[in-house]
Amino acid sequence: MNILVIHGPNLNLLGEREPDVYGTLTLQQINTEIQKLADSKNIVVKFFQSNHEGGLIDFIHENRKWANGLVINPGAYTHYSYALRDAIAGVNLPAVEVHLSDISKREDFRRISVIAPVCIRQISGLGLQSYLQGFEFLIGALSLPQ
Ligand code: DQA
């Protein structure tokens, strides 16, 4: 099974960026924990981070035939990128949206996700566990008889 793990804008600064909101783990540390989980389940993962909407979209397009599904933290694109939403819908891969912080308990603009309707699940507010639970959920969904 092949899975994409995609991080949107500003997530490259994890560890130093608003640690009271996003925690102290770096993106590399988060990816390492996901890699460990993947290894324990014999799953191949490709990681990608970009601060650019088009970069995220290109990566999804380029890997659409390779991947069985994707886990994505779209960062602020969550709240307004119809282009990213269309990319996910367009490749027809099961996707899980994850967030480190609880987007339902922050500013009003964060309560809306334009990505969630094209995802099979949204997990928010659990820090690293959002990624790990999102990954597990995706694997579970992909393992069900199609
Ligand atoms: C985030 C929440 C978004 O609102 C924010 O723009 C981010 C990170 C999270 O993981 O909590 O960049 O996606």
Q: Give the pLDDT confidence of 9-56 residue by residue, as tens digits.
A: 999 999 999 999 999 999 999 999 999 999 999 999 999 999 999 999
CA–centroid distance, 37 to ligand 1, in Å, is: 23
Class of the domain covering 2-42+52-126: alpha beta
Which pair of structure tokens corresponds to residue 20?
A: 């009271």
What are φ and ψ of residue 133, in 5° steps? -70, -35
Q: Given a cut of 70, is residue 103 above it in pLDDT?
A: yes
Which pair of structure tokens corresponds to residue 15?
A: 């560890």
Sheet of 95-99: strand order equals: 44-49, 2-7, 69-73, 95-99, 121-124
Residue of 22, 52, 77, 79 with catalytic role? 22
Distance of CA 31 to the CA centre of its chain: 11
The residue extents of the domains of the chain are 2-42+52-126
Q: Take atom 7 of ligand 1 and give the residue whose Cα is closest.
A: 75
Q: How far apart are CA 53 and CA 20, in angstroms?
A: 26
Please give the pLDDT value at position 146.
Answer: 62
Please give the pLDDT value at position 144.
Answer: 81
3-state secondary structure of 18: coil
CA–centroid distance, 111 to ligand 1, in Å, is: 11
Q: Are 94 and 63 in contact (CB under 8 A)?
A: no
Which pair of structure tokens corresponds to residue 46?
A: 């490709």
Q: Residue 86 has what DSSP assignment? A: H
Is 22 catalytic? The answer is yes
Is 99 catalytic? The answer is yes
The pLDDT tens digits of the residues spanning 55-88 come to 999 999 999 999 999 999 999 999 999 999 999 9
The HSE-up count of residue 71 (CA atoms within 13 Å, CB side) is 32
For ligand 1, say whether the CB of 21 is within 6 Å of any of its atoms: no
The pLDDT tens digits of the residues spanning 121-145 come to 999 999 999 999 999 999 999 998 7
Residue of 7, 77, 99, 131 with catalytic role? 99
Reported as a pLDDT band with limits 50, 70 and 90, residue 93 is very high
